[in-house]
Every structure is written in structure tokens, then in C-alpha cells.
């Protein structure tokens, strides 16, 4: 587990414990590493001693249905890395009401794989480039690159309305919260708010339509729901976004063929963990998104 974030370590260790509870005990200082308080982003090192408060975990899941073995379209693979083109509607991992995700299905399909871990995450309804590490050393290297903003991540999003500025920097601090149903939400707050995280997204217009705009969003930081919340705060929510979007408009667009959130991870660039050579992984726009754009062009 060396190199893994404390929150990911606990979520994997404490099966059946709600995510909200895991994050709550971390924030309350009830999780200690080497007798010191930590944050969710703290990374564990070999030999660390982790102290937890008493928590109730799920009963044995021996009789649960195992994750079905499944492969996904491969964009890149070698002895260190695996990059796939994740389809929309598939979670990257189990939890929060989802029995299994990409990682569980890939592990089931590759029983001989000694190591396979997610290098980062994509929202369930986001398609595109998803990188996994096949070695611990590769995972640590990718995490270090992402933490130091040495990676490049670009997304395509179709948003409500016509975006006026051709290129703009969105620098809005974000705060993660949970509601009464333990559902996670992220909102824009003032930078001085406690636990607020700075966030930076560069938005570039790719194509304008009568009532929508196709944009490229480049992540300069990697906060939860960052692109979705930044664009919604700008007044241009992503079409099909059921959490931060225009719910009435989303309903109107379903009969026209948009039945998902129009957000696609188009590019991920980094240095190869072993060779240190530049590596660029790209995923073409999904056919359903292409088809919807064609309909918009025909109506323009």
C-alpha cells in the first residue's frame, strides 16, 4: 500500500463503510498515521502505523456476486501501464451503491496480474482515457506527476449556451460537502473558506452552436467534479449533467439522442514512469456524442 492515499487505503480496507463516514473520521482527526493527524490526500509510506477508531464493517461478502470479467478498449499497454477508453455509465470502482467498476472487472479478466491499480479517476458518466498502473513503481511515479501538475489532461464538453470568450482561465476554489443522503456535492466558495481547495481550469471554445458550445477543458488541478462545477458556475453547465446541470433542458435533450453527460476525457499526457519519455494517450469522441454534434450542426 506504500504510495497510496489515506482515503483510498481506508475505502479499500473498510468494505461496507460509507464513504462519508470515512472522510468524516479523517477530518475529525480520528485517523492517525504515526500518531499524527492526516488529510485524505496524505500518502502512506512503507512502515507507517495507521490508527483507526472503532468502525462497523460489512459482514462477509463471500456470497456476493463477483464482478464479471471484462476488458475495455485498450489505448496503450506495456509492462508498466494500461490505458483504456472507458465508456460512459461505468464506474471506475465499486462503492456508493455500485457493486463493481472498471478496476474489479479488469482484475477478474486478468487473474494472473500481480498488480493493477487506478492511477486516477473519472466520473461514472465521463468517457475517455483512464490510466491504470501494472506496477507499484509506475503508480507512485504517476501520482507524483499528477501531484506536481506534470501531467496534461484535456476534456471535451458540450455546454449550455454560447460561450463568448474564446479562451479563459477559471480559478474558483472548491469545497466538497455531503448532504443528508450522504451524496457528495462540490460547490464554489471563497478561497478563505476552511478546507476550500484551489482549482484552475483552462476553457477553450472549439465550436459554437445556436444554444450550445463545444469546449475543451484543460485541468491544471485535479479536484473532484472540477470541470463540471467550474462550467456550471460560469453559467454554462455541461449538457446531460444530472448533478450540476440544467435538469429541464437535460430532459428535453433525451429524445434528441443525448442520454448521458457530454464530458469526454480526450487526452492524457505524462512521462512514461520507466523510460521517462513523453507519452500521449488520446481517445476519439464516442459515436453517440459525434452523432449529437452532427444533429446540432444540421439545425444551425
Residue keyed to cell 479562451: 167
- Catalytic residue from among 123, 125, 241, 246: 123
Query: Residue 118: CB partners within 8 Å, gap ≥ 6?
Result: 92, 93, 102, 103, 130, 131, 132, 133
Residues in the chain: 300
As a whole number of angstroms, the distance between CA 138 and CA 218 comes to: 23
Told to judge if 123 belongs to the known catalytic residues of this protein, a careful annotator would answer yes
β-pair type (74-77, 81-86): antiparallel
Return d(Cα 237, Cα 235) in angstroms, integer.
6
Per DSSP, the three-state class of 8 is helix
Q: How many CA atoms lie within 13 A of 144 on its CB side?
A: 11
Whole-angstrom Cα distance, residue 12 to residue 7?
Answer: 9
Name the nearest CA neighbour of 101 among 12, 176, 228.
12
Hey, what's the cell of 230? Answer: 467550474
Q: Which residues are marked as active site?
A: 123
Amino acid at each position: 500500500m506504500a504510495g497510496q492515499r489515506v482515503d483510498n487505503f481506508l475505502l479499500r480496507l473498510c468494505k461496507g463503510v460509507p464513504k462519508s463516514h470515512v472522510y468524516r473520521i479523517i477530518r475529525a482527526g480520528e485517523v492517525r498515521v504515526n500518531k499524527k493527524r492526516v488529510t485524505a490526500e496524505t500518502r502512506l509510506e512503507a512502515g507507517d502505523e495507521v490508527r483507526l477508531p472503532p468502525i462497523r464493517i460489512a459482514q462477509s461478502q463471500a456470497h456476493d456476486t463477483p464482478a464479471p470479467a471484462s476488458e475495455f478498449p485498450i489505448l496503450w499497454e506495456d509492462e508498466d501501464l494500461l490505458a483504456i477508453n472507458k465508456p460512459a455509465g461505468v464506474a471506475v470502482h465499486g462503492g456508493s451503491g455500485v457493486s463493481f467498476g472498471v478496476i474489479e472487472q479488469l482484475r477478474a479478466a486478468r487473474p494472473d496480474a500481480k498488480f493493477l491499480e487506478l492511477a486516477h479517476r473519472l466520473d461514472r458518466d465521463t468517457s475517455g482515457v483512464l490510466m491504470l498502473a501494472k506496477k507499484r513503481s509506475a503508480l507512485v511515479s504517476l501520482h507524483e506527476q499528477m501531484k506536481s501538475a506534470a501531467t496534461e489532461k484535456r476534456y471535451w464538453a458540450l455546454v449550455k449556451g454560447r460561450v463568448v470568450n474564446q479562451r479563459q482561465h477559471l480559478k474558483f476554489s472548491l469545497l466538497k460537502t455531503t448532504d443528508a443522503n450522504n451524496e457528495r456535492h462540490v460547490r464554489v466558495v471563497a478561497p478563505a473558506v476552511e478546507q476550500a481547495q484551489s482549482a484552475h481550469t483552462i476553457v477553450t471554445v472549439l465550436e459554437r452552436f445556436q444554444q450550445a458550445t463545444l469546449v475543451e477543458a484543460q485541468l491544471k488541478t485535479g479536484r473532484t467534479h472540477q470541470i463540471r462545477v467550474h462550467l456550471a458556475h460560469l453559467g454554462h453547465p455541461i449538457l446531460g449533467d444530472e448533478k450540476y446541470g440544467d435538469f429541464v433542458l437535460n430532459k428535453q435533450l433525451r429524445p434528441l439522442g443525448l442520454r448521458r453527460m457530454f464530458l469526454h476525457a480526450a487526452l492524457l499526457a505524462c512521462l512514461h514512469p520507466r523510460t521517462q519519455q513523453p507519452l500521449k494517450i488520446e481517445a476519439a469522441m464516442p459515436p453517440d456524442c459525434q452523432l449529437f454534434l452532427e444533429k446540432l450542426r444540421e439545425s444551425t
